[in-house]
Amino acid sequence: MKIYGDYHTHTIYSHGKGDIRDNVLRAVEVGLKDIAITDHGLHHVVFGLRKRKIVEMRKKIADLKSEFPSINILLGVEADIDGLGGTIDVKEEERELFDVIVAGYHKAVWPNRFSDFFTYHYSSVYEKVFGAPTAKMRARSTDAYVKAIEKHPIDILSHINYGLGVEVKPVAEACAEFGTYLELNGKRINMTRDEFETVLSTKVQFVADSDAHFPNKVGDTSYVEKYLEGYNIEDRIANLYSTPDFRSRREK
């Protein structure tokens, strides 16, 4: 599977191993036309971006753009869905700092409100110990995801079910309704076959990304290709031949 653009890659600005330049060099090498640098959100406790770093990142990207005119380089972010009300850790006034917004759930995120720890983040802890969340927990997490998609111009929902189990159907339906792409993540797809087929029964569109944490993984979606063996859904993957129609850009 060859993709046109990779919209989810990490660098040393969060917990990736390469600098922006290394990711861009690899992207050029494998023939991508777009690459997004999407480090973790501004308020992530362990490896979040700091706002002052964004100026530095923009400068690096501007220099790389003149050096490599064949590729379009976007500065994005991988935000955290961090609370029961569907809050994310990129505030409304911070959105304009980014060209593309990826969002998902991550452990070690500081809860948006303290009470969210018990009503929302605890599900992830429970799931780790007991293998799956309770139905009540799953319903709450689903509600947080759906609200996040409604409220924020999330372009790509990353690695659904990773760390926090949700009901995939209402989440996929919300994505379809609001124009958020559901990610087919190059490192992990935490959906059973049944869940994936349920997702396919909705009108959701997909984006296949590497989620590279090492420069040599940029553009690598071989895991997705393998997962999709036997399915013919190329027409639903928005980043195979052109730049997807990102909702955050439409709203700008």
Residue carrying the six token digits 């690899």: 26
Q: What are the DSSP E strand ranges found in the chain?
A: 5-6, 34-40, 72-80, 100-104, 156-157, 181-185, 206-209
Question: How many residues at the interface with Zn ion, by CB under 5 A?
Answer: 4
Which of these ranges, 71-79, 172-180, 202-210, 228-236, lies near Zn ion under the rule CB under 5 A?
A: 71-79
User: Looking only at residues 9 through 68 of this chain, which bind Zn ion when binding is defined by CB under 5 A?
Assistant: none
Rule CB under 5 A: is residue 82 a binding residue for Zn ion? no
By beta-carbon proximity to Zn ion, the closer residue of 59 and 188 is 188
By beta-carbon proximity to Zn ion, the closer residue of 138 and 159 is 159
| DSSP state for residue 121 in the 8-state scheme | I
User: Looking only at residues 131 through 160 of this chain, which bind Zn ion when binding is defined by CB under 5 A?
Assistant: 158
Residue of 35, 211, 215, 237 interacting with Zn ion (CB under 5 A): 211
Binding-residue pattern over the window 93 to 122 for Zn ion, x denoting contact by CB under 5 A: -----------x------------------
What DSSP string runs through 64-78?
A: HHHH-TTSEEEEEEE
Residue showing the smallest CB distance to Zn ion in the complex:
211
169 C-beta neighbours (distance < 10 Å), count: 15
Cα–Cα–Cα angle for 161, 15, 59, rounded to 5 degrees: 120
What DSSP string runs through 195-229?
A: HHHHHHTS---EEEE--BSSGGGTT--HHHHHHTT
User: Looking only at residues 155 through 174 of this chain, which bind Zn ion when binding is defined by CB under 5 A?
Assistant: 158
Supply the minimum distance, in Å, between the C-beta of residue 167 and Zn ion: 20
Footprint of Zn ion (CB under 5 A): 78, 104, 158, 211
